[in-house]
Each structure stands twice: as structure tokens, then as C-alpha cells.
Amino acid sequence: MSVRPGADALIPSPGFDLETRLVRAFAANPTAEQIAVMDRRVAAAVAVPQSISHRVSRPRHLRRGVLLVAALVLLGGAIPSLLSLYGGIGSGGYQVAWNRATQLGLVQVHDGFEVTLQAAYADAAQTMLAISIVDTGAGRSSKVELYGADLTDEAGRVYHMTSGGSTPAGSSGSINTVWYDTPGEGALSGTHHFILTLPEIGVRAVDPSFSLLPNGTEVGDPWHTVAGPWTFAFDLAVGPGTHLTPGLTATAAGVSATLTSVLVTPTTVRLGLTYQGLPIGGSDWAPIVTVTHNGEQLAVGSTSWNGDPTTVVGSDSASGTWVVSISEFVGNQGPTPSGPGGQRRINGPWTLRFVVP
């Protein structure tokens, strides 16, 4: 899902606990080390020049990982045409996915909560679902949002959620986009039969109450879950991608970086990178990566130490000149911190250049 600004901008209650909601909604319980790594990645990302045409930042998070959620708050109580809202919540690869999505319009209702699978898109790298939620009851919720969605296909392949976001629509509706890794290492294509299950959704109370601590701080969570499940079956064509194996290696500062694979799809470019020579000592190293294709820089949305870097915009054709560059590696606190906040840094660059006919 794409990250959206200001999910709860209209409810700045001191009782709102974002971390608790993330853990509850997406079964995430990040360690202190993982949180430190995320903080470094955010700090590094804002320092990297971005292409004007990139999609709203879509870092890689999982229902089994970490979800970074924000939303564009829509003022007013009336729910507009939910389908019409999706076209304006992202750019770059998101717009490609939305404009090429298959319109489905599948509806299920449980306990008066109407969930609509509006549309779906899939290519060899990633799959996107557009899901709307509406509380059809009167006066029992002030916001509703997606709390995870399980996706499998006819072969039993599990589509692992990578990111997501929720945008309020009035006081009792929301539009949600969910992104998954498409399994098959870039080889999956053709039409497949999918099963989508929402085990539960999140509902915010109309008039939540909070407990008051002795120091005057309000604590509590205005959100609760409503159990489903909401289940949808549908067919969807998975668009092909181009899988490349450059096998290039660059060495600097005693560290070697090898570009083992590149997967190019209309919505993203995924890099397979391996490293040798990075120092040990309790530090996890994250590369600062830039990608250019035929002279155009493709903003990188994820370059974490434990995942493949991906861009937030793709290409319909892999032909042309590619340059993958790592400017530096950033490590967490170690025995010999050398940067701000105890970070350890190894400067490059490591430049990998290749041409596709």
C-alpha cells in the first residue's frame, strides 16, 4: 500500500498509540534493533534526491513485518463515490497499477460492515488490491479501516503483504490499497484464480473514553476489531516482467557488491544484490542505492539490509542503459560508531552499469 499523509490528523488524542495499532493490525512486534534500522532508513531516504515522477513513498512492510500507515483525511461526513477516490492517492507505479487494474466490484457484508473489492492489479513483481470499507450502521463508528488481508491463488501460493495504507472517506468509510510480493521470483504470468480473506477490520469508536494516569496523561485505544471473515474469489491476469541476470561486481573500501538479478515490471524494478567484506560487530548494513534507466533516475523505495532494493516506479521495457549505484553503506550502532547517532558508514561508490538490447 502506498503511504498516505495524516491518517488520524483529526484525532490527535494523547491516548492514540500508533505502535500498538500497528502491532495489533499486522502482527508486528519489531525489536529495538529493527526500529533503529527503520529510523536510519527513513533518515537516509529523505536525504536522497527523488525523481519528480515517483510514487508516494511505499516502503516494504508486511502483515508479518511492519506497516507504516498514513492517510489523506477527507473532510466532511458524507461518503463520496469511493471508487472515484483511488485515482488521486498516488503517482508513479501506483498510477500504472491503478490505471491498468481490473475492475471487480465484489461486495460482502458482515455485521453491517460492507467490504468491496473494487479492483486488482498484478505483474511479475507485485500485486495490488483496492478495498473499500463502509459502516452501513448509523452512528456506531467514527472511522473504519483495513486490518490485514490474506491472499492466495489456485496453487496455494501465498502472496506476502509488503505494504498498505488507509484513507478515510467521510466518518464511516475508507479506501484501502494493499500491496503484495507476487510469488515465483518473477516467473509468474497468465490468468490465475485468487482467494482474498479479511479476517477482521478496524473500527474507531464514536465517543472513545480514555483512562487518566496520575501524571495527567490520557491512555487508551479508541479502536477495536470486528470479526469477519470477508472472503472473495476472483480471476486476475498477472502481467509478465523481464528478468535479467547481470552478474556484475564492483569493489570499494574492501567491500564487494554483486548485482545478481534485476526484475523489471511496469510498476517497479527489483534488484538482487549480494555483498562481501562488510564488517561484523553487531551492525546491520543498509545500502544507499540509486537506479537510473536511460538517464532517468528511478526513486528507490526500499533498500533495507534484509531485503532487495525496489523502485517506486517501473518500466514497460527493460531495453537501454542501466546504472545501479551504491553511494554508501549505513550500519547501526556498533563498537566503533563513526557517524551521527552512532551510525557506522562505509563510503563507496559501487557502480554497476549494463546495457539491455
192, 210: one domain: yes
Label residue 303 by pLDDT band (50, 70, 90). low
Question: Could you tell me which residue, 61 or 327, shows the higher pLDDT?
Answer: 327
199, 82: one domain: yes
- State the pLDDT at residue 320: 97
8 Å CB contact between 283 and 256: no
95, 223: one domain: yes
Q: Which domain holds residue 205?
A: 18-28+63-238
Q: What is the pLDDT of residues 112-138, one digit of tens each?
A: 999 999 999 999 999 999 999 999 988
- Residue 150 CA to residue 339 CA, distance in Å, equals 41
- Given a cut of 80, whether residue 26 has pLDDT beyond it is no
143, 261: one domain: no
CB-count burial class (<10 Å; 0-12, 13-18, 19+) for 98: buried
Question: Could you tell me which residue, 344 or 181, shows the higher pLDDT?
Answer: 181
Domain boundary among 219, 238, 257: 238
310, 177: one domain: no
Mean pLDDT confidence for 332-349 = 68
* Chain centroid to CA 89: 14
Mean pLDDT confidence for 91-100 = 94
Q: Which of these, 146, 167, 2, 149, lies nearest to 73 by C-alpha position?
A: 167
Q: Which of these, 235, 266, 267, 268, lies nearest to 102 by C-alpha position?
A: 235
Report the CATH number that the domain containing residue 326 is assigned in CATH.
Answer: 2.60.40.1640
- Given a cut of 90, whether residue 98 has pLDDT beyond it is yes
- Given a cut of 90, whether residue 174 has pLDDT beyond it is yes
Give the chain's mean pLDDT: 78
Mean pLDDT confidence for 141-152 = 94
* pTM for the full predicted model: 0.75
- State the pLDDT at residue 302: 63
226, 256: one domain: no
74, 207: one domain: yes
- Given a cut of 80, whether residue 158 has pLDDT beyond it is yes
- Residue 357 CA to residue 355 CA, distance in Å, equals 6
Helix (H) or strand (E) holding 44: helix 32-47
Is residue 295 in some structural domain?
yes
216, 289: one domain: no
Helix (H) or strand (E) holding 18: helix 18-26
- Residue 286 CA to residue 302 CA, distance in Å, equals 10
Q: What is the pLDDT of residues 219-249, one digit of tens each?
A: 888 899 999 999 999 999 999 999 999 999 9
Q: DSSP class of residue 252?
A: E
Percent of the chain whose predicted confidence (pLDDT) is above 90:
57
- State the pLDDT at residue 61: 32
Q: What is the pLDDT of residues 40-82, one digit of tens each?
A: 444 443 333 332 222 222 333 333 222 333 333 333 333 448 8
- State the pLDDT at residue 333: 57
Pick from 133-142, 178-187, 298-307: least confident = 298-307
Count Cβ atoms below 10 Å from residue 291 Cβ, excluding itself: 22
**Measuring CA to CA, how many Å separate 294 from each of 54, 317, 327?**
16, 11, 19
Mean pLDDT confidence for 262-285 = 89
- State the pLDDT at residue 248: 97
Mean pLDDT confidence for 175-203 = 96
- State the pLDDT at residue 81: 80
Domain boundary among 185, 210, 238: 238
8 Å CB contact between 313 and 53: yes
Q: Which residues contact 66 (CB under 8 A, 6 or more apart)?
A: 22, 26, 28, 30, 34, 38
- State the pLDDT at residue 150: 97
Domain count, the chain: 2
Label residue 319 by pLDDT band (50, 70, 90). very high
- State the pLDDT at residue 305: 54
Domain boundary among 172, 204, 238: 238
